[in-house]
Amino acid sequence: MEGRIHTDRRYEAELKSLHVKILEMGGFVEKQIAGAVAALVSRDDAQARLIIERDHAINRIDVEIDELCLRLLALHQPAGRDLRLITTGLKITTDLERVGDMAVNVCERALDLNREPQLKPFIDIPRMAEVAQRMLRESLDSFVREDVEAALGVCREDDVIDALTAQLFNELLTFMIRDPQTISRTIPLLFIAKYLERIGDHATNIAEMVVFMVKGKSIRHMDQVPPSV
C-alpha cells in the first residue's frame, strides 16, 4: 500500500512538472517573439542574432517535455483525462517549438532588411505581433486553468490576425506595383507578416487542444468556432 501511495505521489508530481515545463517553454517563446519584433523595429543586428542563438534553449525544453510525456505514458499507462493531458502536452510543445522557429525567421528577415533603407514605419507588424503574443499567452492560460471558454476566445481571435495580415499584404503589394525597386524590401516584410500569422495559427492549435483535453471533443477543422462546447 505504501508503495502505491509513493507511486501516485510521484505520478502527480510529474504531471505538475509537465504543467510547469510547458509554461516555462511558453514564456520563453513569448519573450523570443517580443525580442524578434523589437530587433526588427530598432534595426538591431546584435539582438536579432541573440534571439537566433537562444533558439537552442527552446529545443532543449521541447526534448525534456517529450521525454517526460513518454515516461508518463510508459510507466503509468494513464487513461481518460490524464491521457488527454499528456497527449495535449506533446502537441502543445510541438506548436511552441514552431513558434520559436517563427521568431528566428523574423530575425533572419530583419538582418536582411537592415542592409537597406527602411521602407516604411513599423506600425502594422508590431500590432500583429501584439495580437499573436496575446493569443499565445491566452491559449497557455486556458491550458493551465482548463478554461474552455477562454480557449474558444483564442480561436475567434485568429480572424483578427488574418485580417491584419491581408491588410498589410495589400499595402505592400501596392508598394511593389508602384515602384518595383522596393521589391527587395517588401518581400521580407511579406514573409514576416506570414510568420506572425502562423504564430496565431499555432496559438489557435493550442487552444483547440485545450478544448479536447477538457471536454474530450475535437473542434479542429470546423468551418466556424462553436459558441460553446
Q: What cell does 125 get? A: 507588424
pLDDT for 3 equals 41
Q: Write the DSSP symbol of residue 182.
A: G
What residue segments make up the domains of the chain, in order of their start?
A: 2-215
Q: What cell does 192 get? A: 514576416
On whether the pTM is more than 0.85, the answer is yes
CA–CA separation, 3 vs 25, rounded Å?
Answer: 33
Q: Are the C-beta atoms of 147 and 141 separated by less than 8 Å?
A: yes
Q: What cell does 146 get? A: 482548463
Q: Write the DSSP symbol of residue 154.
A: H
pLDDT for 71 equals 92
pLDDT for 26 equals 94
Q: What is the pLDDT of residues 121-160, one digit of tens each?
A: 888 999 999 999 999 999 999 998 999 999 999 999 999 9
CA–CA separation, 45 vs 169, rounded Å?
Answer: 25
Low-confidence ranges of the chain (pLDDT < 50): 1-6
CA–CA separation, 135 vs 156, rounded Å?
Answer: 10
Q: Are the C-beta atoms of 68 and 90 separated by less than 8 Å?
A: no
pLDDT for 229 equals 60
CA angle 200, 49, 182 (to 5 degrees): 70
Q: Provide CATH code, domain 2-215.
A: 1.20.58.220
CA–CA separation, 208 vs 217, rounded Å?
Answer: 9
Q: Which of 156, 159, 142, 154 is nearest to 215 (CA)?
A: 142
